Structure 1
Amino acid sequence: MRTLLVGIDAACFPVLDPLFEAGATPTLDRLFADGVAGRLESQIPPWTPSAWPSLYTGVNPGKHGVFDFLTFDGYDWDVVNHSHVREHALWEVLDRRGLSSVVVNVPVTYPPREFDGALVPGYTAPEDPECHPAGLLEDVRAAIGGYSVYAPGELSDRDRGETIDGYREAARMRGEAFRYLADRFDPEFGFVEFQYTDTVFHELPEDDGAIRAAYAAVDEQIDAILEECDPDTVVVASDHGIGEYDGYEFRVNEFLRNRGYAETTRGGGSLPSWSSVVRNNLMRGEADADRTPSPLERALDLAARVGLTSQRLGAALEAVGLDDLALEYVPDDAIRAGTERVSFPESAAYMRSRIECGIRLNVAGREPEGVVAPEEYDAVRESLIEALREVRTPDGEAVFDAVLPREAVFDGPYVEDAADVVLVPADYDHYLSSLLLGDEFGEPWQSHNHKRYGIVAAAGAGVDASAGVGDAHLFDVAPTVLATLGVPASERMDGRPLPFVEPVGTERYSDFEGGPAAEAVDRDVERRLSDMGYLE
């Protein structure tokens, strides 16, 4: 193996430095010390579904087309997958240069496209995903004693020990699967990603022991991979950082409703949103047209029409400590029937999904039932931007570092798919929410979440440790990896090789020609995304 790329989701120096000092991650500590390491600026938005495609293509979301865990067609939505990534991935570029690759557990790589090598997809894939080549998953499971994309069962059904054991088992499966495939396919390039270094901060954020266990398990697998695969060059990178959110939860759609931009509805509605009461119990958000609503659903829907919504019922139950009891006995469909939510067709502007970090205008001729006239677009958007720039927390601090038109952030053929207004929370200390909860501000639902800066490190052949990483950006990872393999970067890439490698120049690669987008086939993926707080 000539180059190994190790992806560690959410890794950053505020997390790693204490682990290095405690001796919990000796392999990573050694790589960072012997080579070069520094801070890696993520993109906007700094979230898994968009950031990993940016890392492995070297282009911004306006060029590859993925901005969120969700993709939208008018007001309809689906979970993104690799068919929505409209640019060549690293391993696809290498395939065109006659180099083979093994890729394991990288998010948004399902369904895989043809290339020389092997791929086992990661996050947003179904639990039993199609791999490349066909039948590979069965071989992997037979060789290493089982393989799963996600942890088994519900988080609520696992105690702390079982959850930590799950992190260790996930790391083992990724590491052993990668080593098995590297031995079988003998690739020039390898890419393995570890996801649970992010998951632990969503599930057990205050548990230092759990965080240490998750990272120690990953470190052990990296050590075994280095021992068996002996790569000439190792690059370590993360998609973003993670840390404490010590600000406020800002409910964007409440802000828009209060200023006349957003209209609401009840029951089956427009947003992929299921109410604060069922935040950890995501099910399919669309009503089944063939089923008859239960009496309880009809009663809650009637109550919602006169103002007694699920949110208000949930707040009342929570105040007296009965919210968990209600969740145990009240079906999710019944709760959704009484949930107030934003109506896309009737609104001038709305937040579709909090992970998108932005606001979409409902433009006539662009959206199916648009209400903003095209000639009014610029004026409406500028007025909205100015209003958001002035938003202050209850403590008088600015909520946003920047509120920008999308073309100031993205460029490329898919900018139209982005939110019209892009929101950058101040230091990423404020939690953005799309939920309607009565007040514009509240306590952040999650204590920890994504931050703008991750890490990049490299060691081995051709790495000039004295050169540093410079102002490293997420888009620089792909051209840097290509340079370690003597392969020119694509002219379309937004990044450049980092200072510690010798650049090889650029080349015009063939335009991306993908097939039609594949629909999501496993609704359990949506539930898992909700469990992590990615869908509300």
Structure 2
Amino acid sequence: MKRQVIVIGLDGATFDIIDPLVDEGHLPTIADLVSRGTKGRLSSTIPYATMPAWPSFMTGKNPGKHGVFDFFSIAGGRRHLSTSQDIRAKTLWEILSGAGKRSIVMNVPGTYPPARINGVVVSGMLTPADAEFASPPDVKGFLDQATDGYRINSRSHLSGRKLVDDVLEVTEKQKRGFVALLRREDWDCAMVMFRATDVIPHHFWQKQNLIRECYHYIDAFVGEIVSAFPYAAIFLISDHGLQAQPSDFHINKWLIDDGYMSIKIGHASQVSRWEEIGGLEGRAQLAESHLRPSNAFRVLLRMGFTGRSLRKVMPRAWWNALKRSVPRSIKDHIPATDDAAYDVDWDHTLASAYQLYTRESKAIKIVNLDQRSREGVCAELVEKLGSLRDPQTGGPIVRRAYRREELYEGPYVDQAPDIILDLHDGYNLTNAFFADDYVTSRDEVRGCHHREGIFLACGDDIERGKGLGYHPSLLDVMPTVLHYLESPVPDDCDGRVLKEILESGSEPHLREVVYEAMDWEGRGGDRSAPYGDDEQAEIEERLRALGYL
């Protein structure tokens, strides 16, 4: 019988939630996999964010070698959402294709537009609503029939219980479609990624009953997949973990207070803001970014009517009830703060984290400086941020501030943000210019990313009941799967084959790892512009609903 591998990605899953639920008997599938396999906490990329984490998983390489550092990339003078075309290294399934093996890939971020491989690709979260999401294209019709209308994304305008139910409905359709594809197709490696374990904790961290319900459903879905294909090895992984976020770090306020950023009265449209950034960077097409405030938004802002002004005059209980009850369609027309009236004064700014990257990337860009001056400002910021203290607790905020050259290596390092922050637990960035202090407590704790994800492997020739005493890297999973399936590993791979998870004396444990040079020659698929303006606006709204923008 040929070897088969199923990789199941649980976006944002953490053993901090899983282990107590396993101990209480609520996750029987995962408990069984732990008893029959090898378990460890997985160390994600820095930043520990969806992008670049999933592209780093699928290539086994650091972002400096594949070129994706955030949900947004810059190419041809344009700021655009990162796509499969921006990942400039061979992926797990492309390497398997070259070795004559077939793969089924479903719902993995960074796979839109779907590439042509030996097998099937169904793209994931950055796919526009009405786009062609499957390769080959006839797979779409099969999935629609198998699932009574296949879906990739939940509806970002929903809230409360309706959002939870919609996320779980999408997940159930993806599980059904995945199982149906695996039963129809011949395959050696299959992968599906479920987003519920990220979306629900982001929104509902303070409602732990909803998070427990989510994990219970996911455990059942994983159980159906494992039961349907009992001879396949299972790799259960996450791109990062999640944690409580009680505190906001207003990085731009700190940059302003320390003289690195200047602001000025804003424009009527944020398009003008991007014209400034475009001119500054020599990237005029950045002006095509949208984010145009409505007329109602502008009127309320001129009147000084903002979410912050309401919060100051309302009791906290009333404020929290209002936030939960007002539909998103109305909230979108109410400015959150008077920050919306201001822009970055790029002519007098040295460093900014404002609207250039998603918040989870925790990134800073240096502007207006030659190379030598840039080095000096980078050094200053790294030193100051590393010693920065929370004014409320006196504790450190930044675990470490990295210069891009410290984190990454490869041909695309110069496309990375200048500084990337690894924050201590409980903090996340905001884009706010103004706040009572550069760190403030949140009215409502939400979920934010943590670097520790999950790793669990179970199957033939894999050690049983073993716990790893260290944190394997997310980048180790791809070469380990390749070796397990008797395929070569790229000789410039940053991850390594985890032979220690294989049973001593087993065939894959004894077999030497085969390394090969694998030059990047481009990716097959639709090479036209992947997003129109309306499609980019739609996807940015989804990211905004998660708190990424």
Cα deviation per residue 1:82-121 (whole Å; 9 max; x = unaligned)?
2211111111110000000011111111111110111111
2:501 aligned counterpart, secondary structure = coil
Q: Answer with 316-325 or 429-438: which moved more.
A: 316-325
Cα deviation per residue 1:227-265 (whole Å; 9 max; x = unaligned)?
22234311111111111124x311111111112211224
Q: Answer with 45-54 or 334-343: which moved more.
A: 334-343
Is the 8 Å Cα contact of residues 309 and 338 (structure 1) preserved in structure 2?
Answer: no
2:55 aligned counterpart, secondary structure = helix
Q: Answer with 121-130 or 45-54: which moved more.
A: 121-130
* Aligned counterparts, 1:225-374, within 5 A: 225-246=225-246, 248-265=247-264, 266-267=266-267, 268-269=269-270, 270=273, 286=290, 294=295, 303=302, 313-321=306-314, 332=333, 338-344=340-346, 346-351=348-353, 352-353=356-357, 354-362=359-367, 371-374=368-371
TM-aligned CA deviation for residue 21 of structure 1: 1.9
1:17 aligned counterpart, secondary structure = helix
- Give the whole-Å Cα distance in 1 for the aligned partners of 2:467 and 2:66: 29
1:416 matched to which residue of 2?
Answer: 414
Cα deviation per residue 1:208-242 (whole Å; 9 max; x = unaligned)?
32112212222222222222223431111111111
2:536 maps to 1:526: no
2:385 maps to 1:388: yes
- Give the whole-Å Cα distance in 2 for the aligned partners of 1:183 and 1:510: 34
- Give the whole-Å Cα distance in 2 for the aligned partners of 1:138 and 1:237: 29
TM-aligned CA deviation for residue 73 of structure 1: 5.3
TM-aligned CA deviation for residue 474 of structure 1: 0.8
2:278 matched to which residue of 1?
Answer: none
Is the 8 Å Cα contact of residues 9 and 194 (structure 1) preserved in structure 2?
Answer: yes
Letter in 2 for 1:411: E
Is the 8 Å Cα contact of residues 43 and 452 (structure 2) preserved in structure 1?
Answer: yes
* Aligned counterparts, 1:216-227, within 5 A: 216-227=216-227
* Aligned counterparts, 1:43-54, within 5 A: 43-54=45-56
- Give the whole-Å Cα distance in 2 for the aligned partners of 1:482 and 1:229: 19
Residues 255 and 215 of structure 1, relative CA distance in 2, 3 Å threshold: same
TM-aligned CA deviation for residue 297 of structure 1: 6.4
- Give the whole-Å Cα distance in 1 for the aligned partners of 2:342 and 2:201: 30
Residues 73 and 258 of structure 1, relative CA distance in 2, 3 Å threshold: farther
Is the 8 Å Cα contact of residues 155 and 163 (structure 2) preserved in structure 1?
Answer: no
2:41 maps to 1:39: yes
- Give the whole-Å Cα distance in 2 for the aligned partners of 1:150 and 1:165: 13
TM-aligned CA deviation for residue 510 of structure 1: 2.6
Cα deviation per residue 1:513-532 (whole Å; 9 max; x = unaligned)?
24868443422211111111
- Give the whole-Å Cα distance in 1 for the aligned partners of 2:68 and 2:175: 28
- Give the whole-Å Cα distance in 1 for the aligned partners of 2:4 and 2:327: 56
TM-aligned CA deviation for residue 466 of structure 1: 7.0
2:156 maps to 1:142: no
Residues 456 and 299 of structure 1, relative CA distance in 2, 3 Å threshold: closer
Letter in 1 for 2:310: L
TM-aligned CA deviation for residue 127 of structure 1: 2.5
TM-aligned CA deviation for residue 182 of structure 1: 0.9
Equivalent of residue 423 in structure 2, options 422, 425, 431: 425
User: In angstroms, what is the RMSD of aligned CA positions?
Assistant: 2.9
Letter in 2 for 1:254: K
- Give the whole-Å Cα distance in 2 for the aligned partners of 1:489 and 1:8: 25
Residues 467 and 196 of structure 1, relative CA distance in 2, 3 Å threshold: closer
TM-score, scaled to structure 1: 0.86
Unaligned runs of 5+ in 2: 276-287, 503-508
1:368 matched to which residue of 2?
Answer: none
- Give the whole-Å Cα distance in 2 for the aligned partners of 1:330 and 1:116: 46
- Give the whole-Å Cα distance in 2 for the aligned partners of 1:331 and 1:208: 27
- Give the whole-Å Cα distance in 1 for the aligned partners of 2:16 and 2:387: 31
1:173 aligned counterpart, secondary structure = helix
Equivalent of residue 26 in structure 2, options 5, 8, 24: 24
TM-aligned CA deviation for residue 462 of structure 1: 2.0
Is the 8 Å Cα contact of residues 128 and 148 (structure 1) preserved in structure 2?
Answer: no
2:213 aligned counterpart, secondary structure = helix
TM-aligned CA deviation for residue 453 of structure 1: 0.6
Residues 102 and 326 of structure 1, relative CA distance in 2, 3 Å threshold: closer
2:433 matched to which residue of 1?
Answer: 436
TM-aligned CA deviation for residue 492 of structure 1: 1.7
1:165 matched to which residue of 2?
Answer: 165
Residues 97 and 360 of structure 1, relative CA distance in 2, 3 Å threshold: same
- Give the whole-Å Cα distance in 2 for the aligned partners of 1:528 and 1:456: 28
Letter in 2 for 1:57: T
Cα deviation per residue 1:470-501 (whole Å; 9 max; x = unaligned)?
44111101011111101121112101011213
Letter in 2 for 1:188: D
- Give the whole-Å Cα distance in 1 for the aligned partners of 2:406 and 2:330: 48
Is the 8 Å Cα contact of residues 80 and 520 (structure 1) preserved in structure 2?
Answer: no
Is the 8 Å Cα contact of residues 14 and 452 (structure 2) preserved in structure 1?
Answer: yes
1:508 matched to which residue of 2?
Answer: 517
1:376 aligned counterpart, secondary structure = helix
2:395 matched to which residue of 1?
Answer: 397
1:443 aligned counterpart, secondary structure = strand
Residues 258 and 337 of structure 1, relative CA distance in 2, 3 Å threshold: closer
Unaligned runs of 5+ in 1: 273-283, 363-370
Cα deviation per residue 1:113-148 (whole Å; 9 max; x = unaligned)?
110111111111123342110132222011221111
2:476 matched to which residue of 1?
Answer: 476
- Give the whole-Å Cα distance in 2 for the aligned partners of 1:21 and 1:441: 36
Residues 250 and 217 of structure 1, relative CA distance in 2, 3 Å threshold: same
Residues 442 and 57 of structure 1, relative CA distance in 2, 3 Å threshold: same
Aligned length: 500
1:95 aligned counterpart, secondary structure = helix
1:450 matched to which residue of 2?
Answer: 449
- Give the whole-Å Cα distance in 2 for the aligned partners of 1:184 and 1:3: 16
Letter in 2 for 1:340: Y
Is the 8 Å Cα contact of residues 108 and 125 (structure 1) preserved in structure 2?
Answer: no
1:277 matched to which residue of 2?
Answer: none
Percent identity between matched residues is: 29
Residues 24 and 492 of structure 1, relative CA distance in 2, 3 Å threshold: same
1:279 matched to which residue of 2?
Answer: none
Is the 8 Å Cα contact of residues 360 and 449 (structure 2) preserved in structure 1?
Answer: no
- Give the whole-Å Cα distance in 2 for the aligned partners of 1:31 and 1:517: 43
Residues 230 and 249 of structure 1, relative CA distance in 2, 3 Å threshold: same
Q: Answer with 111-120 or 507-516: which moved more.
A: 507-516
- Give the whole-Å Cα distance in 2 for the aligned partners of 1:185 and 1:72: 37
- Give the whole-Å Cα distance in 2 for the aligned partners of 1:464 and 1:221: 24
Is the 8 Å Cα contact of residues 39 and 453 (structure 1) preserved in structure 2?
Answer: yes
TM-aligned CA deviation for residue 170 of structure 1: 2.3
